[in-house]
Structure 1
Amino acid sequence: MDLSNGAAPTARESAKPLHYRFAKKQRHKVNAVIASSSLISDRPVFDASDFDWTQPLADDWQAIREEALAIYRHRDAIPPLREISPDHRRIMRDNSWRSFFLVGYGHRQEENIARAPRTAELVSSIPGLNSAFFSILAPGARIVPHRGVTKAFITAHLGLEIPRDRASCWMRVGDQRLHWDEGKWTLFDDTYEHEVHNDTDEARIILLCQVARPLKAPGSWLAAATLGYVRRSHFVRDARDNLADWETVFARAERGEM
C-alpha cells in the first residue's frame, strides 16, 4: 500500500470505511512511536551489513537470477502491480511495473513458489518477512514520487538484472539518488519520499522483500496491530483474488497458449 505524497482525498478514498480514513490520519503519530522504538536508525537508507540475513541471499544471487529470468520469459503474463493492487494506480499509470509474488503480506503463493523454489527457500529464512516478489521495471518506466504507509517495515532490493546504462536507472529516496548493482542489496525506509526511473532500453529486475523493522515496545505493539489490520483489509483480500486470476494467465503462457 502506497500513498501519494500530499495528495488530496479522492472520491474513491472518501467512500472508504471510516476506520480506514481514521487509520490513515493517525499514521504519522503511529510512525513517530515506531521510529522512537526502532532498534535501528531512523535514516532513509541502510547498510546491508546491518542485517545478518542479507549475506546468504547475496551469496546465492545468481541462482535467484536464473529463476527470475526463467519467469521473465513469460513477461506479458506477469501481472502489472497496478492490476494486483489498484491503490498503486496513483503512482504507476501504465503496466510497465510488473510483480511476480512469492509471498504477499504473509500469504504464500504456492504455484509461484514452485516456479522459483530456490528463491522461496532463501527468502523463507528472512526473519519478519512480510512480502517477497520479483519486481520488473520495463524500459522507460517511471514510478512517481510517493511514500509508504508504515515504518513497521523496511524495503530491501537485491539486484538481479540491471541495465548496462546504470546511471540512467535509479531510485531517489529522500535526497539520496541510488543505483542497483547485480548481487547487491539496497535497503531503505519507504516512508521517505521516493521515486524510480528506468530511462534505459533494458528491463530492471530485482528481488524485492518487505521485512519487519527490528523494534522494542511500544512500537512493536503498534507495528503488530498495523500488520494485523492490513492483512485483514480489503487491500490484501482483493490482491489475493487478483493474483489467483493472474495465476491462470501465467499457467496458460507456460503451456504456450498465449
Structure 2
Amino acid sequence: MPTFAIRCFERIVHHRSSIGNSAFFPADVFPWAATLERNWQSIRGELDQLLAHRDDLPNFQDISEEQRALTADANWKTYFFTAYGVPFAQNADRCPRTTELLAGVDGLETAFFSILGPGKHLPEHRGPYNGVIRYHLALKVPSPATDCGITVNGETAHWEEGKSMVFDDSYPHEAWNRTSEDRVVLFMDVQRPLPFPYAALNRRIIRRIGKSPYIQQAKAKHAAWEKNFEEARKG
C-alpha cells in the first residue's frame, strides 16, 4: 500500500526522528507507558474475560487481507479498539478500563489485543510505514518466557508480563511462540515523535492511510464480525 511519496517521506523520518533510530527503544520515550504498566493487571482482567470466548475472536487475516502473507490459520487472534482513526465502539465498551487508559496515550493510531497462539511463528516482514512506532504491553506470557520472542533487525527480545516493549517495526522483524499457551500483548502503533513541521506532515500521511481501501475494508469486515460476536455472547 505505501506509495512512492510515502517511501520518500520515510527517509526524512529516519533522519529527523526525535528519538533516533534503533530496533528497540527504552519504554520511557513515551511517558504514558509507565501508566499502562502500573495498570496492566486491570487490562489483563478485561482480557481474561474475552479469552473465555477465544475461539470466537477474529483471526487477523479475516479482518486484514494483507495479513494473509503472514498467517493463514486460527493462531493469531485480535481484538481491536481502534485502527488509524477508526474506533470500534462495542469492543471498547466491553473493556472500559482499557479504553480509559488508551485515551491517555498521545498519538495513538492503532490498538488491539494481539493473541499469538501455541506454536505460532510470524515470518520476517516489515511494517508499512516508519512514521509510527510499535508498542507492546505484555499481558500474558507463557513459561518459559524465552520460548516467546521477537527479533527486530537482528536483535532479539522477550516479553515480560506487565512490562513495555517499544520497537521500530519498519525494520525486518519476526515473532514466535514455541509454548503450548497463548501469548497476549496490548499492541499499539503511535505517532513517531518528530519536530515541526515533520510531525504535521506525518499526521497527514497517517490520515491518508486511514482513508485507504485497506483500512476501510478492514472496518467493514470487523463490523460484520462484531455483530456476530455480540449475538453469540447473548446466545
Which structure 2 residues correspond to residues 107-256 of structure 1 after superposition, within 5 A? Answer: 107-255=86-234
Task: Determine the C-alpha separation between the residues in 1 that align with 2:10 and 2:198.
Answer: 8
Contact 1:102 1:132 (C-alpha < 8 Å) held by counterparts: yes
Deviates more, 1:128-137 or 1:23-32: 23-32
Deviates more, 1:214-223 or 1:117-126: 214-223
Runs of 4+ in 1 over 4 A off after TM superposition: none
Q: Once superposed, what is the RMSD of the aligned Cα atoms? A: 1.3
Task: Determine the C-alpha separation between the residues in 1 that align with 2:200 and 2:10.
Answer: 12
Deviates more, 1:211-220 or 1:166-175: 211-220
State the AA in 2 paired with 1:185. Answer: S
Contact 1:148 1:191 (C-alpha < 8 Å) held by counterparts: yes
State the AA in 2 paired with 1:58. Answer: E
The answer on 1:68 being equivalent to 2:47 is yes
CA displacement at 1:218 relative to structure 2: 4.3
What is the number of residues matched between the two proteins? Answer: 235
Three-state SS of the structure 2 residue aligned to 1:139 is coil
Task: Determine the C-alpha separation between the residues in 2 that align with 1:45 and 1:198.
Answer: 19
Query: Residues 44-91 of structure 1, C-alpha deviation per residue, up to 9 Å, x if partnerless?
Result: 101002221101110010000010110111011111111100001111
CA displacement at 1:93 relative to structure 2: 2.5
Contact 2:16 2:195 (C-alpha < 8 Å) held by counterparts: yes
CA displacement at 1:222 relative to structure 2: 3.3
Task: Determine the C-alpha separation between the residues in 2 that align with 1:26 and 1:179.
Answer: 35
- Per the normalisation by structure 2, the TM-score is 0.96
Q: Which residue of structure 2 aligns with residue 98 of structure 1?
A: 77
Contact 1:154 1:189 (C-alpha < 8 Å) held by counterparts: yes
Task: Determine the C-alpha separation between the residues in 2 that align with 1:33 and 1:142.
Answer: 32
Task: Determine the C-alpha separation between the residues in 1 that align with 2:198 and 2:23.
Answer: 18
State the AA in 1 paired with 2:156. Answer: R
CA displacement at 1:223 relative to structure 2: 1.3
Contact 1:27 1:149 (C-alpha < 8 Å) held by counterparts: no
CA displacement at 1:26 relative to structure 2: 4.2
CA displacement at 1:123 relative to structure 2: 0.8
Contact 1:77 1:249 (C-alpha < 8 Å) held by counterparts: no
Structure 2, unaligned runs of 5 or more: none
- Per the normalisation by structure 1, the TM-score is 0.88
State the AA in 1 paired with 2:86. Answer: H
Structure 1, unaligned runs of 5 or more: 1-19
Q: Which residue of structure 2 aligns with residue 43 of structure 1?
A: 22
Q: Which residue of structure 1 aligns with residue 13 of structure 2?
A: 34
Task: Determine the C-alpha separation between the residues in 2 that align with 1:165 and 1:24.
Answer: 41
Task: Determine the C-alpha separation between the residues in 1 that align with 2:22 and 2:188.
Answer: 18
State the AA in 1 paired with 2:46. Answer: E
